[in-house]
Amino acid sequence: MIRRVFLLYFICCFLCVYTIAAGQFTADLVILNGKIRTLDDKSPVVEAAAVKDGKIAATGSTAVIRKLAGAKTKMIDAGGKLVLPGFNDSHVHFLGIGSAFFSVDLRRAGSLEHLLSKIKFNARFIPEGQWILGSGWNSKSWKNDDLPRRESLDTAAPGNPVLLYSDDYRLAVANSAALKLAGYDKPSKIIKNGVIERNADGSPTGILRGDAIAYLRALGPKLADKQELEALETATNYAASLGVTSVHDVHSDDITPLMTELEKSGKLKTRVYDCISLTKWKELNDAGIAAASGSPMIRRGCLKHFSDGDPEVIPDLLAMMIPADKAGLQIAVHAIGPRANNVVLELLDQIIKRNGSRDRRFRVEHAHNFSSVDGRRFSALRAIASMQPHLFGGGEPYRSLLQSNTRLAFGSDASITDLDPLLGIHAAVNSGAERSISVEDAVRAYTLGSAYAEYQENVKGSISIGKLADLVILSDDIFVVPNSKIREARVLTTILDGKIVYEAK
């Protein structure tokens, strides 16, 4: 019996190895008829790619890759569109990105349609049942003074309670889900010092005044409620819609437990590298965590600090950084302005002198507005410039950094600015004759560059055989359209781990 089991095992292994060697595996997903920019020098542009077990398994012509599809293979016809590796944003505040969707600033809503489109947009990404609060609308400033109503809000956000204050806070409008929570759907419901405006049949119109607003608002989230899990779910949905498949969370809080919960519930659509405060380096070290430890979805081992350029703090910072670096942790320090960048490069210099050279991938977050002398030190010290071209409006010396072989990692700094990577690529490419970099280099900084900044360049960042199948299909070929139009391209499809996590409707 045992012998038979062994024999079967060997036959299985042999068949398995043989079929892979012959290229005859059946793909889980194939992309055909695309213009796939792999960022892999071996075959920079291909038509088609096959995915197996969440990894790129083959690339080539549509005719060849089509043969790897079986009855259960997911087929994507890219229709000649540009396919790139999923974007990797090296600098985000992930919680902030999500929670910004829960409250809507309506001061600039210029019409009822504009107000409704804002609510509809937010509702696309937030979990069902999550409240949407808004304020600031004023229908008197609109062309037709048509007040928003329950029915139109229901169309915009059917699955979420919505309450929108007007700019004087004495008038508000709510949708059916919110009205129902307060019992306002029952014609008999009355609120002292408040008005629940009703139609002739007794149904609420959605318009509320006075204490009827306060009563309803009290049923919604409290200001102190953090709603963190809901915010992260929103952030990951939004990231998927922009083709962002990886982020580095540089907010100093520890979001790993929440991200793990999100992953367990099957809702995580973004790989996360979680940077926590430098002051907590010992906690990580005690837990046996070094740089880039964890799973392909959630990793940690990165420490974030802030330099405002005060040289007096250098000894205190080194007292934490030198042992943290020795423990194999990665350090990322925020630096804006010549003084701050100078202090941060000085810290790195000291760390190297004390701990010797190693593959430490020290990151300068923002690396904005450094002196020309310090600009040359980035490559000498092998510091990574983690830059956000859209945040600073482009025009930074991207080209000279690349020419001096400095590693660039691009990101957004969302939620301070928008997460959309095409805005960053647009800004870097349109930075003026002396500073602009090519579309290819900007895309590389937003994929391979960020992957390098998290020690993952052999795992993701290009469409290479064996790498993670994180991909994005764009509406326009940003390598071909005029540079001034790059930011107009939209994401059609986002694939994470070989699965579609976003499709444009």
Residues near Zn ion, by CB under 5 A: 413
If the CB atoms of residues 230 and 413 are measured against Zn ion, the closer one turns out to be: 413
Q: How far is the CB of 334 from Zn ion (least distance, A)?
A: 7
Shortest Cβ contact with Zn ion: which residue? Answer: 413
If the CB atoms of residues 413 and 420 are measured against Zn ion, the closer one turns out to be: 413
Q: How far is the CB of 283 from Zn ion (least distance, A)?
A: 22
Q: How far is the CB of 254 from Zn ion (least distance, A)?
A: 16
> DSSP string covering 70-81, please?
EEEEEEEE-TT-
Q: How far is the CB of 177 from Zn ion (least distance, A)?
A: 34
Q: How far is the CB of 97 from Zn ion (least distance, A)?
A: 11
Strands of the 55-60 sheet, one edge to the other:
55-60, 48-52, 27-32, 69-77
If the CB atoms of residues 233 and 413 are measured against Zn ion, the closer one turns out to be: 413
Give CA separation, 448 vs 400, 441, 453, 455, 458, in Å: 19, 10, 9, 10, 9
If the CB atoms of residues 94 and 131 are measured against Zn ion, the closer one turns out to be: 94
Q: How far is the CB of 12 from Zn ion (least distance, A)?
A: 51
If the CB atoms of residues 336 and 495 are measured against Zn ion, the closer one turns out to be: 336
Residue 175's DSSP bridge partners are: none
Phi then psi for 7, rounded to 5 degrees? -60, -45
| Inter-residue contact 106 to 134 (CB < 8 Å) | yes
Q: How many residues does the chain have?
A: 505
If the CB atoms of residues 89 and 497 are measured against Zn ion, the closer one turns out to be: 89
Q: Please tell me the distance from the alpha carbon of residue 491 to that of residue 503, in angstroms, as a whole number.
A: 8
Q: How far is the CB of 226 from Zn ion (least distance, A)?
A: 19
Exposure b/e, 445-480, CB count within 10 A at least 16 = b: bbbbbbbbbbbbbebbbbbbeebbbbbbbbebebbe
If the CB atoms of residues 96 and 328 are measured against Zn ion, the closer one turns out to be: 96
> CA angle at residue 39 from 36 to 42, to 5 degrees?
95
3-state secondary structure of 365: strand
Q: How far is the CB of 413 from Zn ion (least distance, A)?
A: 4
Residue 59's DSSP bridge partners are: 49
Residue 203's DSSP bridge partners are: none
Half-sphere exposure of residue 397: CA atoms within 13 angstroms, side-chain side: 17
Which candidate, 352, 397, 393, places its Cα nearest to that of 374? Answer: 397
If the CB atoms of residues 28 and 413 are measured against Zn ion, the closer one turns out to be: 413
